Amino acid sequence: MTTAFRVHADDNVATLLGDAEGAVTIIGGDALALNEPIALGHKVALGDIAAGAAVVKYGIAIGTARVGIRAGDWVHLHNCASAFDERSGGFDGVTGASKDMVYD
C-alpha cells in the first residue's frame, strides 16, 4: 500500500509518496480510504474540509477550499485556491493551464 506523510500535526492534508488507488497509509497513523486515484506528490484530505475553510500544510494555511472536500479526496486546483498565488483561481482544474493567458 502506498504511503503519505503529514508534515505538521495541524495539517488537514497529507502528501502521497507514490501513485495510489483505493487506500493509503499515513506515516505514523492509520490507513485512509481514497475516493479517487491520486498521483505521487499530490495531496489527500485527511478529514472533511468545509467550503471556505483553510487547507493546512506545514502547519499553515496554504489555501482555501473552493467546495466541500471529503476525507480521502484529491486536493488540488480544482477544489483549492492557493493562498500564495492569486492566479491559481484562474487555472483550469483539469489541465492546470492558466485561463488568463491566450495559447496559440
Q: Where are the domains of the chain?
A: 3-90
Q: What is the pLDDT of residues 10-31, one digit of tens each?
A: 999 999 999 999 999 999 989 9
Q: Averaged over 36-52, what is the pLDDT?
A: 97
HEC states along the chain? CCEEECCCCCCCEEEECCCECCEEEECCCCEEECCCCECCCCEEECCCECCCCEEEECCEEEEEECCCECCCCEECCCCEEECCCHHHHHECCCCCCECCCCCC
Name the band, by pLDDT with cuts 50, 70 and 90, for residue 95.
Answer: low
Q: What is the dotted CATH code of the domain comprising 3-90?
A: 2.30.130.110
